[in-house]
Structure 1
Amino acid sequence: MGPGRLLVMLIFAVAVFALAGCEGGGGTTTSVQFLPNMDQYLTPLAPPGARFETLNPGLADKPDWLAGQAVTSVKSPDNKTLLVLTSGYNRVYTSTPSTPYPWYSPDSNEYVFIYDISTNTPIKKQVVTIPNSYNGIVFDPSGKAFYVSGGVSDNVHVFSQGADGIWAEVNAPLALGHNNMGNGLPWSADFGNGSINLQIGVKPCAAGLAISRDGKTLVVANYYNDSISVFRGGLNNWGPATELDMRPGKSGGTVGEPGGEYPFWVAVKGTEADGTATAYVSSIRDREVVVVDLNGALGVKARVKVVGQPNKMTLNRDQSLLYVVEDQSDRIDIVRTSDNTLVGTIPVIAPAAALPASLAGFTGANPNSVTLSPDEKRLYVTNGNLNCVAVVNLDAARTGGQVAGLIPTGWYPNSASISADGTWMYVINGKSATGPNPDFRYSYGPPSRPNGFLTNHYNPQLTKAGLQSLPLPAATQLWRLTAQVAANNRFSYADGARDQEVMKVLQANIKHVIFIIKENRTYDQILGDLEKGNGDPALAEFGEPYTPNMHAMARAFVTLDNFYDTAEVSNDGWAWTTSARAPDVVERQYAVAYASRGLSLDTEGTNRSVNVAYKTLAERKAANPLTPDDDDLLPGQTDVAAPDGPNNEVNKGYLWDAALRRGLSVRNYGFFVDQTRYNVPLAAGGIPLVKAPASTGTQVAYPASAALAPYTDIYFRGFDNSFPDYYRYKEWEREFDAYETAGNLPTLSLVRFMHDHTGNFNTAIDGVNTPELQQADNDYAVGLLLEKIANSPRYKDNTLVFVIEDDSQDGGDHVDSHRSIAFVAGAYVKRGALVSSHYNTINFLRTIEEVLGLPPMNLNDALARPMTDIFTTTPAPWSFVAKPAPILAGTTLPPFAALSPVSRARAPKSTHDARYWAQATRGMDFSSEDKFNFAQYNRVLWKGLMGNKPYPAAPSGKDLRRNRKELLARYHLALK
């Protein structure tokens, strides 16, 4: 062991606790903060002299409201002013409906925070607003103006400083002119019956900005139009935009060849005045830096291929070198601009001495910005997923180097700026820990208090941004800070002896795993009324009357009352739940999309609603007739949101990829299925609601993952709220019965039961058309599957069933907004146990991997402990009988279709009928999980379900494991 490694290990064990007494400034004195959904610690005050402050825009009517999702920081040319831009959710709700979006208050903006940094310590001077944004901001070289990309507004805002020092937008934004259209599936289709509104199209998005040194050329990355727009003229004299489509088939190259798509960041070299003006544009999907000649007519002159996803970039002072930070591959690429050649790469996860050998080859740090020191001897790289800044020492030629150390930050750093003298650093962080959200109610809530929609307790609203400022640490301090980052991220983790013993037994005896993913519920929302565990019955909106099988599983096997979904919403939830990571492109997009600020939900195989699992245009049109006749629309099979596997295997970072690499058999029921056709008219290519499609050979599922396509059951309908989970279960049962007979059940089965999401009340079939009924339908399907396994002589003792929610965004919880339900059932699971061990989504996936003998997929699961506390090494007999919720007796699902009218009339009733819910949710797009504003949907549901029923307030953060009998008695009394 080298001296550096030894030092890290010595400091590692005490690093977190040694800082417990530290204090900081700028609005916080908390030196150590735990992220339960990530199993990480945050220590932004660990660097000596560090300050951390939240971003308060100073809203007149909400003075305590804080902004979230800070993404980019830039300095003024004189180095005295720092700008911090937000691009994310930042919606503020009001009880008074307003336009264009009901309940969005006039405060629902994005922000530029303006700080004076002339004395190093940042002093907030002003906050300006823009309606929308997406990461791009740049100062004019004169220092008299700055420019902000308008995101879905498809424009560029120009702010100038007046004589009084106040910044203001004095002219109309610079228009980009994309007519509200991005490159994706169309907004409407005409199949001879007139134009049909499809609600699946995508809008434009202005992203990265860069300006030439003379201030005469401004370049904008059109993120969803695969192009750049160039303005010429200069401050107060900008002409109209000139646009270049960077796709090869549109710019003089080969038709149907990938290139230039999802352009995110821009750097500009030279000037048009001397004929050297060149733009460097990062193409995230196609993993290249597109080099564009800006002199005269625009044209692509080179494409620099890279391994990972190129993110932000910076040029050195003489513009001879371009430094490009890469997500996925976790490195810096160095491009020589004289000939546009890649001349060097630098890994940026951590110093070699700080990483155990067991982590070699894994990625997942999410590096997302790079900053060059004033003396050009160092790079500072924000590692979003490791909550740190990597300090990279460059070699003498500046084309190589290595990480010298790590500086701890807040949660998910997105950008760093360095003072002119190189002594201070400013780091902006996009997120924060959320804590409990007991006032965020899907349905019930105390009538004397506003619901979570109005109290702004939605997950993306609860994650707040922060500005960390600090003197740059001396070399002697850097190792201690590196050790702190290592401790925060559990770099020294190794399985204990019992963990190894338990997993060895499971690996020897478990031959099959059935992995079920459900949608959007918190622990209290479902199990708050359970007689054991830390649940608050006041928040049990879908308790035992609607979820008897979830309750039975918790009682019969293990109640996990300290389990957390890693994700914030479904969009990043499907990434975390299937791969134990969310790439930076997902982290940047989801909050913007959920705020109805444009962008699409790309994490289940479709990009901009285009199914990229199919290679050719003919194949795509056969799978989806809505696909436009354009060979250059996202050609190839690269999925921009998919994680890479070990050793930079592109898009192969999912659980099923790990299983397939090991030669295991896989079967897919509903994961990564194209959802665009389920909620469009049949005339526009919709797929009919066929209850038993296999019997007629009717394909109802079109795979949206190239890797999963050969293993996907095309008769198992994907995400569609009109279709009961009961029929999904029946299709799974049809195949399972065949496997039972043949003895060839796949090793890993992926099953999506999604109806607890709820929606589509006007088109839902068989009377399963209210929130309560859809929740009960989902619960029954899970129970039926478990009963089927329990009754299988061949598989009951060598199969484990894992059940998880992809996220917990849709309800309140008195412990943490991420706390959720999770279940595991089988012969080797403990019986009737309450297990309060801290676990999250990543532990869940690591457990499945360990059971199947799979290696980790990335840094996150490599550092996660398997959930061995729920298992026993001695199998025990088990059984399970599915029990339908009584409310289902009022539906016409097959198990209840033969009931007499009297029995049907006796069934419990929903609070409102389908007509009410259809009217209340009119205009909401249920074609994909959370494709609309989900916080608004929660308000509608709260209003419809709560009525005037009194409900006890939730004691946030309290341990409610004790005195459960008394607590539940009070709860049931209050309901009478």
Structure 2
Amino acid sequence: MTGRLRRLLPPALVIVLAGLGLWLVVSPAGVTRPTILEPPGRNQQASITGTEATLVNGRRVTPAGTVLRTQSYNWGLAISPDQSRAALLRADSIEVVDLLPPHDIRRYPPRGTKVPALGTGTYMGIAFAPDGKSIFYGNANEGQILRLDLASGEIVATIDIDDGGIEDSFVGDFVLTRDGRTLVAVDQFNFRLVTVDVASGQVRQSVRVGRHPFAVALSPDERTAWVSNVGMFEYPLIPGVTPDNRATAGITFPAYGVPSAEAEQGTVAEGQSIPGLGPLNHPDAMSVFKVDLASGQVTQKIHTGYLVGADRDDIRTVGGASPGALAVARDRVYVSNATNDTITVLDAGTGKRLADIALNVPGLETLRGVLPFSVVLSPDQSRLYVACAGLNAVAVIDVHTRAIEGYVPAGWFAALVAVSVDGQRLYVSSAKGLGSGRNAGPGFDDPGRGLHPGDIMQGTLQIVETPRGTTLSDGTRQVIDNTYAAREVPPLLARTLPYANSRFEGPIKHIVFVVKENRTYDQVFGQRRDARGNPSGATLGLGVRVASKDGRRVLPRVDVTPNHHALADRFAISDNFYCDADQSNTGHRWVVGVYPNEWVEVNARSRIEARPFGPAPGRRNVNGSSAVVNPEDYNEAGALWEHLARHGVPFFNFGFGAEMPQSIEAQMHKETGIRMTVSFPLPKPLFDRSSRKYPTFNMAIPDQYRMDMFEEELRTRWESGVESFPSLVTIVLPNDHMTSEHPEDGYPFRESYVADNDLALGRLVERLSHSRWWDDMLIIVTEDDPQGGTDSVDAHRSLLMLISPWVKRGYVSPVLASFGSLMRLQFTLLGLPPLNQFDGAATLIDDVFSDSPDITPYDARPSDLRLFDPQLAFKPFARRFNWRGLATSRAMDDPDDMRRDLDDD
């Protein structure tokens, strides 16, 4: 922490960070009391007021300057040559914003129409032509750069970068030279840099660069291109797998974990020889390339930030630096390392690494989460402005002293920053703006953007006078206040929870963490009278009407989730819990403690087609909506798994992280749920501690089958005494995702899948509550995202259930909580330090616990056989549903499928 930032902390307090997120606050009188850092919105709901908001993670956003509401998830920002307009690029649209009052916004195409179309999907690159009358942008998936005439809204030119035998190109970031004659673009999936003649549309040059080139910038003389590469590996096809046999020839589980000798060199798995991925820290991986444009040669390959396996603070780094944005001065190059929260300074001539500037948050210096996304230099090259997506702020850096001068408050996920030609104004685009607000409920006025949480949400564009002096100091103090506040621990809780212990000595020794799919709070619990909900939105509750798609089958009154409600009656739930993500490809990272980096967020919102058998190697690494954390996604400290392993905490996993990209999911794949086409790894700790018989996400497999496999593992591993029951067990229970009706398999309604899921949850709690570990167990149940429904409080509000002898009976927690809160709760109970800033300063859900346990076991409620028949569901698996023995699948969460579901509802 710099002295300037340290002075912004309250002068009356001396704050010392201890191992468990504990702060010892010493007053001037010398009285010490245990205090923890939590977001300022702990006792509020997610809400939007004017141009300020309390976010779903409890942090506040108070964007500085003039704040304009724009479309969400803009990944491209360009300022017109006359400085009068900004262009914002989203996956399916462009907004052109007047920067002078009244700040009109024009959308291409107009909302509600697909004509004129912009193409099949954009990515990041966007640029005004020198005359400001047209815009260049990428029709990314088609390997094209398009030119849009702003007056007519017509596409007036199409440039195809497939050239010289190159196919399956994908246009990522690009730069237009000052004279408007040349485009310099990255082809993200063919791992190359191309230069294109604008007039002829011809590719003049193609240069192989590193893996998954992400951003490109030109030197001031435009003779050199600098390219950042965020890819870690080039993933191979499974030998012998073809488009025709992939459903049977692929392997059922990843062949190796990273890091390991097998992952590097290859191994034999399921009788097949699986190629390795090569070494970590390969020159092409997580690197910056310098390209001489005259010769078309790569002249330097540079690793920035911290290499994988380097020691930093008290951990060995797990994720690569993820070098993203670039700013090139006359003699310096500045690279943002998203994973490390640093800016690497390079000598532009020699490529020598001169310095690393740490983007610290006062009080959280050893934890990552600032997430630098884009960088820009002031016109006089004296200041560097950094959009810090994780901090919801823009950092201001003095490039001469390499010190952080302070922060400018921005919106949620500040992704892009630009500066005016006179250096007097900043333009800041925040991808998530002020959040989504509600998407249903009494008095809700549909704004017509769609009800999906990512669509109803708006971004923000700020016009801010460049800050100096007191303005910058005040803004920095505001950013800190928006991020955390100190809370004194109540005396009773200080005794019963491990705020000051190196190891928790309390009653809870085992945690079972269950993640389900896509439901909002209102859908399941909106009817509950003791909580904040919308009864009319409780479409998956009790006594509801369900009907088949054709309307021929109707149940006028049926209980869809009897076990969820019986468990809520007995144990504790929250009516103020929110998912940090709005769809699964980011949600499945958040639920294992991985905040999505720039690569994940941009790809999650883009329309990208995987072509695993095509010639472009990067097309094999298209994650889509798969529930996996790939090496490109790793945070510096890793995920939940690495955190547990480095501290020696035993765990076991059922289905988390194993739904790999480019896999096939069918009913026949019952042993793990998938057949892998491409060899992706698991994180090594997860690989070593995961069930090989429990199916991951696959809607053709009943949750009842998953429970059977869980019970088999329970008997053979732990009840047998072969192994000790782990401190943490993680389980995916995905069938509340819902899919199309299959009456012949016991699913006559879409809601039948939720009934299957409800019964499975009831079985799980019954089985565990009758076990010998029940007395010291906590079961946490949540959803990965809320995109499958609507909610009257916020589109991100979802389910959180806390099931244990040690929670208050029938309690509804009003405390604002998020995924970071779930990580913090688990780490607190397991005696672990924080993993990153999002759990280190998250709300601790400590209001639900009781010091008077009730160890009465739970007995599951049966499903209504008219809605879900377990016997029919089991028939294809040659099994029978043993109730008395208890003491055409679609890919996961295609957001367009979710949008159609919301429209149908």
Please tell me the TM-score bracket, short chain as reference. 0.7 to 0.9
User: Offset at 1:177?
Assistant: 2.5
Shift of 1:41: 0.8
**Once superposed, what is the RMSD of the aligned Cα atoms?**
3.7
Which residue of 635, 642, 659 maps to 2:633? 642
Q: Note if contact 1:394-1:402 (Cα within 8 Å) is conserved in structure 2.
A: yes
Is residue 781 from structure 1 mapped to residue 760 from structure 2 by the alignment? yes
**Which of 813, 821, 832 is the aligned partner of 1:854?**
832
The answer (yes or no) to whether the contact 1:176–1:241 under 8 Å persists in 2 is no
Q: What's 1:388 paired with?
A: 393
Q: In structure 2, do the counterparts of structure 1 residues 628 and 717 end up closer, same or farther at CA, with 3 Å as the change threshold?
A: farther
Asked if the contact 1:11–1:483 (Cα under 8 Å) also holds between the matched residues in 2, the reply is no
* TM-score for the superposition, normalised by structure 2: 0.76
Q: Deviations over 1:360-400 (max 9, x none)?
A: 211111211111112211111111121111111121xxxx6
Distance 2:800 2:830 in 1: 19
Aligned counterpart, 1:243: 206
Of structures 1 and 2, the one scoring higher in RCO (CA 8 A, sep 6+) is: 2
**1:590-629 matched pairs, under 5 angstroms:** 590-592=604-606, 597-598=607-608
C-alpha separation between the residues in 2 aligned to 1:801 and 1:7?
40
**Per-residue deviation at 1:292?**
2.2
1:418-437 aligned within 5 A = 418-431=419-432, 432-437=434-439
TM-score norm. by structure 1 comes to 0.71
- Cα deviations across residues 773-803 of structure 1 (Å, max 9, x unaligned)? 11011111111111111111x2011221111
CA contact (8 A) 1:562 1:838 kept: yes
- Secondary structure of the 2:839 match is helix
What residue in structure 1 maps to residue 520 of structure 2?
522
The one-letter code matched in structure 1 to 2:74 is A
Contact 1:453 1:935 in 2 (8 A): no
Contact 2:215 2:325 in 1 (8 A): yes
In the TM superposition, residue 224 of structure 1 has moved relative to its aligned partner by: 2.9
User: Are the counterparts in 2 of residues 155 and 174 from structure 1 also a CA contact under 8 Å?
Assistant: yes
Residue pair 2:214, 2:227 contacting (<8 A) in 1 also? yes
Aligned partner letter, 1:937 = D
Please say if residues 93 and 107 of structure 2, whose CA atoms lie closer than 8 Å, have aligned partners that are also in contact.
no
Distance (Å, rounded) in 1 between the aligned partners of 2:873 and 2:470: 71
Contact 1:668–1:751 at 8 Å: present in 2 too? Answer: yes
Matched with 2:61 is 42
Output aligned runs, 1:123-162, within 5 Å.
123-124=103-104, 128-129=108-109, 130-131=118-119, 132-140=121-129, 146-159=135-148
User: Hey, what's the Cα distance between the residues in 2 that align with 1:464 and 1:631?
Assistant: 31
CA contact (8 A) 1:8 1:482 kept: no
Q: Is the 8 A contact 1:116 1:125 kept in 2?
A: no
**Change beyond 3 A, Cα 1:180–1:531:** farther
29 and 664 in structure 1: CA distance in 2 versus 1, 3 angstrom threshold: closer
Which whole-Å deviations, capped at 9, do the CAs of 1:99-149 have from their partners, x for residues lacking one?
xxxxxxxxxx411415356xxx78548655533321112345676764222
On the 8 A contact 2:484/2:841 being kept in 1, the answer is: yes
Cα 1:244/1:733, change in 2 over 3 Å = same
Q: Which residue of 1 aligns with 2:224?
A: 278
Distance 1:171 1:675 in 2: 40
Change (3 A) 1:368 1:495: farther
1:325 aligns with 2:336: yes
Relative to structure 1, the CA distance from residue 811 to residue 409 in structure 2 (aligned partners, 3 Å threshold; closer, same or farther) is same
The answer to whether the 8 Å contact 1:525/1:813 transfers is yes
Instruction: Give deviations 1:533-587, integer Å, cap 9, x for gaps.
Output: 1222211111030111110111101131122122111111111111152222222
Match of 1:102 in 2: none
Whole-Å separation in 2 of the counterparts to 1:932 and 1:181? 30
Q: Distance in 2 between matches of 1:632 and 1:590?
A: 15
SS of 1:70 mapped into structure 2: coil
Match of 2:537 in 1: 539
Q: Identify, as 1 or 2, the structure richer in helix.
A: 1
What is the distance in 2 between the residues matched to 1:817 and 1:671?
25
**Deviations 1:850-886 (CA, angstroms, capped at 9, x unpaired):** 1111211111100013211011233332210011221
Cα offset, 1:703, TM superposition:
6.7
* Equivalent residue number for residue 337 of structure 1: 348
State the AA in 1 paired with 2:139.
G
Give 1:470 shift. 2.0
Q: 1:267 aligns with which of 205, 211, 217?
A: 217
- 2:322 partner amino acid: Q
Compared CA separation, residues 882 and 374, structure 1 to 2 (3 A): same
Aligned residue type for 2:229: S
SS of equivalent residue, structure 1 residue 781? helix
Q: Deviations over 1:585-643 (max 9, x none)?
A: 22222232xxxx226xxxxxxxx698xxxxxxxxxxxxxxx8999799769x9935523
1:387/1:413 contact within 8 Å kept: yes
C-alpha distance in 2 between matches for 1:170 and 1:928: 34
Matched residues in 1 for 2:435 and 2:164: separation? 39
CA shift, 1:324, in A, is 1.4
CA contact (8 A) 2:304 2:335 kept: no
Q: Which amino acid aligns with 2:123?
A: Y
Matched-pair contact (CA < 8 Å) for 1:325–1:332: yes
The answer to whether the 8 A contact 1:776-1:887 is kept is: no
Contact 1:499/1:866 (8 A) holds in 2: no
Offset at 1:227? 1.9
2:69 corresponds in structure 1 to 54
Distance 1:893 1:145 in 2: 62
Which residue of the partner structure matches residue 294 of structure 2? 295
Which amino acid in structure 2 is aligned with residue 410 of structure 1? G
Cα 1:495–1:586 shift into 2, 3 Å: farther
Please list the CA deviations of residues 666-706 of structure 1 after superposition, one character each: whole Å capped at 9, or x if unmatched.
211101113457646xxxxx67244899xxxx99x997444
1:16-36: CA deviation from partner (whole Å, max 9, x where unpaired): 99xxxxxxxxxx98253211x
- Secondary structure of the residue aligned to 2:633 is coil
* Alignment check: 8 A CA contact 2:228 2:286 kept: yes
> Of 800, 804, 814, which residue of structure 1 is paired with 2:792?
814
Deviates more, 1:470-479 or 1:707-716: 470-479
CA 16–453 in structure 1, closer or farther in 2 if over 3 Å, else same = closer
CA contact (8 A) 1:677 1:687 kept: no
> What's the CA shift for 1:178?
7.8
- Counterpart of 2:235 in structure 1 is none
In the alignment, the residues of structure 1 paired with residue 156 and residue 669 of structure 2 have an alpha-carbon distance, to the nearest angstrom, of 52
Q: 1:360 to 1:512 in 2, by over 3 A?
A: same
3-state secondary structure, aligned to 2:862: coil
Identical counterparts, % of pairs: 25
Amino acid at match of 1:755: N
Residue 226 of structure 1, aligned match among 181, 191, 197: 191
The aligned residue for residue 89 of structure 2 is 86
Residues 50-86 of structure 1 show CA distances to partners (whole Å, capped at 9, x for unaligned) of: 211123xxxxxxxxxxx22223333345x53443222
Mapping of residues 719-738 of structure 1, within 5 Å: 719-738=697-716
Distance in 1 (CA, whole Å) between partners of 2:712 and 2:436 is: 43
Q: Separation in 2 of the partners of 1:80 and 1:677? A: 44
Cα distance change of structure 1 residues 16 and 666 upon mapping to structure 2, 3 Å threshold: closer
Q: For residues 659 and 430 of structure 2, what CA distance do their matches in structure 1 show?
A: 34
**Structure 2 counterpart of 1:487, from 481, 486, 498:** 481
Residue 294 of structure 2 aligns with an amino acid whose one-letter code is N
- Kindly indicate whether the alpha-carbon contact (under 8 Å) linking 1:425 and 1:469 is maintained by their aligned counterparts in 2: yes
3-state SS, counterpart of residue 152 of structure 1 = helix
Asked if the contact 2:523/2:789 (under 8 Å) is kept, the reply is yes
Contact map agreement 2:322 2:632 (CA 8 A) in 1:
no
Among candidates 891, 894, 897, match of residue 933 of structure 1: 897
Corresponding residue for residue 657 of structure 1: 642
Cα shift at 1:754: 0.2
The verdict on how the C-alpha distance between 1:930 and 1:4 changes in structure 2, with shifts beyond 3 A counting, is closer
Query: Counterpart of 2:93 in structure 1: which amino acid?
Result: E
Q: Deviations over 1:426-448 (max 9, x none)?
A: 21222232111116xxxxx99xx
Q: What letter corresponds to residue 175 of structure 1 in structure 2? A: D
Deviates more, 1:814-823 or 1:724-733: 814-823
Deviations 1:391-422 (A, max 9, x none): 11121xxxx60111111012222222222332
Instruction: Answer yes or no: is the 8 Å Cα contact 1:11–1:480 preserved in 2.
Output: no
Taking a change above 3 Å as real, the CA distance of residues 16 and 361 of structure 1, as seen in their structure-2 partners, is closer
Counterpart CA distance in 2 for 1:423 and 1:453 is: 35
Q: Deviations over 1:922-954 (max 9, x none)?
A: xxx7122336532013334x3xxxxxxxxxxxx
